[in-house]
Structure 1
Amino acid sequence: MVVKTGSDLTKEVATSIQSTLESLPPLSSNCCIYRVPENLRRVNEDAYRPLLVSIGPFCYDDPKLVPMKEQKLRYLQSFLIRNNTRNNVDYYVEAVRPWEQVIRQCYVTPVTLSSVTFTEMVLIDAFFIIELFLRAWFHELIDENDRIFNKPRMIVEVTRDLRIEENQLPFFIFKCLYDLAYSSSSGRPSFIDLTYKFFTGKKHTIPQILANVDIKHFVDFLRLCHLPTSPKPRTNRDLKFELSPNVTQLSGVGVKFAMSQSTDLLDIKFSRGILEIPRFVLTDQTESLFRNIMVFEQCHHYFNSYIIDYFAFLNGLINTPKDVEVLVQCGIIENWLGSNEDAANFFKNIFRQTRLNVANFYFSNHCTHLNAYASTQWHRWKAILKHEYFNHPWAVISVIYAVVMLRGRGDRAHRPVDIKQVIAQG
């Protein structure tokens, strides 16, 4: 056994550390596809896991997703035959090769697939999705043997899987290949048009916010679809942060709830005791969709976390099935989960383990105004009067009498008087 001197040991450790440092891959600003943090994954692992189809390297080796590869190859084959490039796959390989390192840099952890395997995966997955989007736009491309569009459950699950943060390819590679295939075609929808139609079902002009921004991937695309047109306000850091009272508490002080006609999810307004909230449709697909958008915001847009802020605000409003019931009755929540308790659990759990940037909270002013309204005694009195005493003409007379008595007693005693007690005595 060779005994090393202190200086030898120092030199060996230093050399090892230096070698490790030199082998570190460079950090890239292209990084935009993230692993789900473990604390979030533990809350609901299924929400972050593809069920049917793998896209990109993170889920590439999942044995449960391998059977879908045959369908991906069939879509690629159809695309090549229809575009007269059946024997020219090398044309697209040559187009992707220069982008290999840039695509790899989009992932938060190193991708260990070989260059051949990685390039093949990118091409097969990208053309599968391009063909999928083309068939969604041009229904005449769907033949009777299509295993996705002719099986309703399949298209639902494929759509869901394309909204998973860990199941992404960078958006630019789809656009690159699509534009390469249809560079000389006039009148054909752009790839952004195809994407918008696939995820929203709409063919009309896409929102301006999507036309002038660098879209990272499909989760980013879906987040952008929900962003407001106005910039996010800065919160006064000196203000004490607080969420709003819940629906039941606000109802108790006379706040009314109304469904906004706005299609902007974040377009919530509070004025003159009325809280207007756009309709929110709650299905068994909703949780996975918004959880993945929230993961992307947590990792990539922490200082502009609009969707996280939205669910933080609703988390304050909705604590119980009774809160859900009120919002369902006024049309704000369309609940397809079954029970009000299931819906309440959704709003309670979706925000768990999520970090909120309170210094830039989008609904800060809403919460401040709602808390101020709820703490005003006069609003509470008005709610009591309306609920308990204005249901009958004779009750109105009793209230008028009570107000006169209150004024007289208050002037004499210079102390507060219980209005309910006076009415009862009257």
Structure 2
Amino acid sequence: MWRLPTNQLCCIYRVPTSLREINNEAYTPRLVLIGPLHHALKAESRRSLRNTPDAKSIDYLNTEEIKKLYLSEFSGMLPRLGKTIDQFIKTIQQQEQAIRDSYSESTSWINSREFCDMILSDAVFILMFSWKCSLDLTARKGKTVAKRSGDPLLDVPCLEYNIKRDLLLLENQLPFYILHMLFHAIVPALFPDYTFHELVMRLFFSHQKRVLHAETFLHFTDLMRGVHVFSLPERDLTKQQAIKSMPCADQLYSMGVKFQAVKEDFSINVRIENGCLKIPTLCVDDHFEATLRNLAALEQCYYPHAPHVCNYLAFIDFLIDTDKDTELLAKKGIITGRVGKPSLVAEMVTKLGRGIYVDTPSCYSGIANRLNAYYNNRTNKSCSLIRTVCSIIQVKPK
């Protein structure tokens, strides 16, 4: 049930039904359950073992066992720092109400001890997984021959890949401030090469340096949104409006608009220069849809007056209408990755915009207005030319 009334700390939400019913899988964890919104799934998974367990329940329970191993390993590191696991539990207990207030739903059905144990287990899992992935990344960069660690989350690439996906889902979050409070002071002592902030950044952006500071995001979904929005230039949105219509890519191309791919990962900064529409590459892979859907869900709930990702999706939805548009953008290098059938990509992009309410000024409306004006002007000139040619043909003597 919703928490009523809402409070200023609330930043982690259950995805609205209007979005979830379009693609439930995009919002559902595959391997790891984090925080209270999916806590009940753990009990359901255990009950399923007594009947006919499904693969997803087994995956959840396997990851719960790995959480226990990570917690034991972390506890074994603490004595050399003169700390105990009880000190971390005490910190969580002191922050328990603030953590509970971070969620849009009441968590009163989880008793205090179970809640604090859950937060500790999930927080330590995130820390240890981030550290282990960072070590693995360093080994790969150094071309060290990989050895099996005995940890399936690292030894099986698809599992690591899906854990990272799960950690970005809106419903699957811990408030970042509690992670920072627990770990920022001890990480340099445990892992001298890193700060906790650096571990998090390397987890999601392994090949890039990101400038966002720990204080600037609420949780990992918000971090990912911040990285996308960071590339947008400052615009006076009071002079902008929502996009109502715009020609698709194939129509624009037929009228002389050029398209250029811009290699800016995680960027949504579309711009038009000298008749050329410059668009950051869209890597259409298994996580593309899930990531954008969860960022849009966060904006619908927490950033209704600054829905930059939602406005971006609306712009791309206008641009990609049919498989011809997909083929054109793929040819120009704007759409990359495992594209598959162009018609499927067009359908997926169309669905991304469904269930999203956007009626606020869009930072893309200026670009849309210029494209509309250019297209209409070219269309009018073409129609005028056709009428002129037809009239000449009609009056030409036989």
* Pairwise same-fold verdict (TM > 0.5): yes
CA deviation vs aligned residue, 1:345-386 (integer Å, no higher than 9, x gap) = 1111111010113x32110001100000001047854xx9xx
Which piece of structure 1 moves more, 366-375 or 139-148? Answer: 139-148
Q: Relative to structure 1, is the Cα distance of residues 229 and 193 closer, same or farther in structure 2, using a 3 angstrom cutoff?
A: farther
Are positions 1:109 and 2:113 aligned together?
Answer: no
Matched, 1:206 2:206: no
Change (3 A) 1:175 1:421: farther
Please tell me whether Structure 1 or Structure 2 has the larger radius of gyration of its CA atoms: 1
Question: Number of residues paired by the alignment?
Answer: 367
| Structure 1 position 206, deviation (Å) | 2.1
Instruction: Tell me the equivalent position of 1:271.
Output: 273
Note if contact 1:49-1:164 (Cα within 8 Å) is conserved in structure 2.
yes
Residue pair 2:242, 2:365 contacting (<8 A) in 1 also: no
Q: Which residue of 2 aligns with 1:288?
A: 290
The structure-2 alpha-carbon separation of the partners of 1:144 and 1:67, relative to structure 1 and needing over 3 Å to count, comes to closer
Alignment check: 8 A CA contact 1:297 1:304 kept? yes
Given that residues 193 and 206 in structure 1 are in contact (C-alpha distance below 8 angstroms), is that contact kept between their aligned partners in structure 2?
A: no
Matched, 1:34 2:13: yes
CA distance in 2, matches of 1:291, 1:151: 26
Which secondary structure does the structure 2 equivalent of 1:32 belong to? coil
Taking the aligned partners of 1:185 and 1:155, their CA distance within structure 2 comes to: 22
How many angstroms apart in 2 are the aligned matches of 1:142 and 1:98? 41
Alpha-carbon distance between aligned partners in 2 of 1:28 and 1:77, rounded to the nearest angstrom: 35
Per-residue CA distance 1:118-154 (angstroms, 9 max, x = gap): 0000000000110000111123798621120001121
Matches within 5 A, 1:14-33: 27-33=6-12
Partner residue in 2 for 1:67: 62
Tell me if 1:172 matches 2:177.
yes
Contact 2:247 2:319 survives alignment (8 Å): yes
Measured in 2, the distance between the counterparts of 1:122 and 1:97 equals: 10
Q: Which residue of 2 aligns with 1:129?
A: 126
Shift of 1:192: 1.9
Corresponding residue of 1:76? 71
Cα distance in 2 for residues equivalent to 1:320 and 1:55: 38
Question: For residues 372 and 29 of structure 1, what CA distance do their matches in structure 2 show?
Answer: 43
Counterpart position of 1:388: none
Q: Percent identity?
A: 28
* Mapping of residues 292-311 of structure 1, within 5 Å: 292-311=294-313
Unpaired runs of at least 5, structure 1: 1-23, 385-405, 407-414
- 1:39–1:240: structure 2 CA closer, same or farther, 3 Å change rule? closer
Are the equivalent residues in 2 in contact too, given 1:41–1:48 (CA < 8 A)? Answer: yes
Q: Distance in 2 between matches of 1:25 and 1:142?
A: 51
Mapped to 1, the partners of 2:266 and 2:158 lie a distance apart of 28
- State the distance in 2 between where 1:190 and 1:240 align: 41
Q: Does 1:147 align with 2:152?
A: yes
Q: Which runs of 5+ in 2 are unaligned?
A: 46-56, 140-145
1:193-231 alpha-carbon deviations (Å, 9 max, x no partner) = 1111111212x5422xx1274311100011111112523
Q: Aligned residue for 1:197?
A: 202
Q: Which amino acid aligns with 1:360?
A: P
Cross-structure match for 2:26: 47
**Residue of 214, 225, 243 corresponding to 2:227:** 225
- Show the counterpart of 1:158: 163
* Higher RCO (Cα < 8 Å, 6 or more apart): 2
Residue aligning to 2:262: 260
Question: In the TM superposition, what whole-angstrom CA distance separates every residue of 1:54-113 from its partner, at most 9, and x where no partner exists?
Answer: 000111121222332111110111122234379922121112111101000000011021
Contact kept in structure 2, 1:59 and 1:167, CA below 8 Å = yes
Q: Root-mean-square deviation (CA), in Å?
A: 2.9
Equivalence for 1:16:
none
Counterpart residue identity of residue 187, structure 2: Y
Give the partner amino acid of 1:77.
S
Partner of 2:317: 315
Q: CA, structure 1 residues 235+266, in 2 after alignment: closer, same or farther (shift >3 Å)?
A: farther
1:177 CA drift (Å): 1.4
Q: Which moved more, 1:190-199 or 1:347-356?
A: 190-199
Question: Aligned equivalents of 1:270 and 1:92: distance in 2?
Answer: 51
CA gap 1:253/1:234 in 2 versus in 1, 3 angstroms: same
Q: CA deviation at 1:267?
A: 2.1
